[in-house]
């Protein structure tokens, strides 16, 4: 199960993703990602419990699309499990990752 809250403001698309991002739920995230007129995408993963390779593919696709127009993609507040997956796959070096000091740690 996944919950996605999105907000588009001044060309910045913020997506707060909660639950599990896997083969079953990654299409829902893809459906929320219209990059038309978007200069930056922020994924708030403070409530994301798990991410699979299917979820990573969605992130990479967005990265490719947004970077092609000079934009940026930022991942905010991944927990230790999600951060571990990003580290193991080498994607922690591809994405800008920010840990907000006020975010709850899981």
> What per-residue confidence (pLDDT) applies to 74?
96
Distance from C-alpha of 64 to C-alpha of 5, rounded to nearest angstrom:
22
CA 47 distance to own-chain centroid:
11
- Ordered by start, the domain boundaries in the chain are 2-98
- What CATH class is the domain 2-98? alpha beta
Over residues 8-18, the mean pLDDT reads 94
pLDDT of residue 102: 55
What percent of the chain lies above the pLDDT cut of 70?
93
Separation of alpha carbons 66 and 75, rounded Å: 14
Contact 30, 47 (CB under 8 A): no
**Each residue of 66-106: pLDDT tens digit?**
988 899 999 999 999 999 999 999 999 999 999 985 544 44
């Amino acid at each position: 199960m996944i919950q996605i809250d999105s907000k588009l403001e001044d060309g910045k698309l913020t997506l707060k993703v909660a639950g599990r991002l896997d083969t079953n739920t990654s299409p829902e995230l893809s459906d929320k990602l219209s990059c038309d007129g978007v200069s930056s995408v922020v994924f708030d993963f403070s409530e994301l419990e798990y991410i699979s390779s299917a979820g990573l593919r969605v992130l990479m696709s967005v990265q490719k699309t947004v970077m092609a127009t000079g934009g940026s993609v930022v991942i905010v507040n991944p927990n230790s499990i999600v951060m571990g997956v990003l580290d193991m796959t080498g994607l922690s070096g591809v994405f800008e990752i920010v840990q907000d000091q006020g975010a709850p740690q899981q």
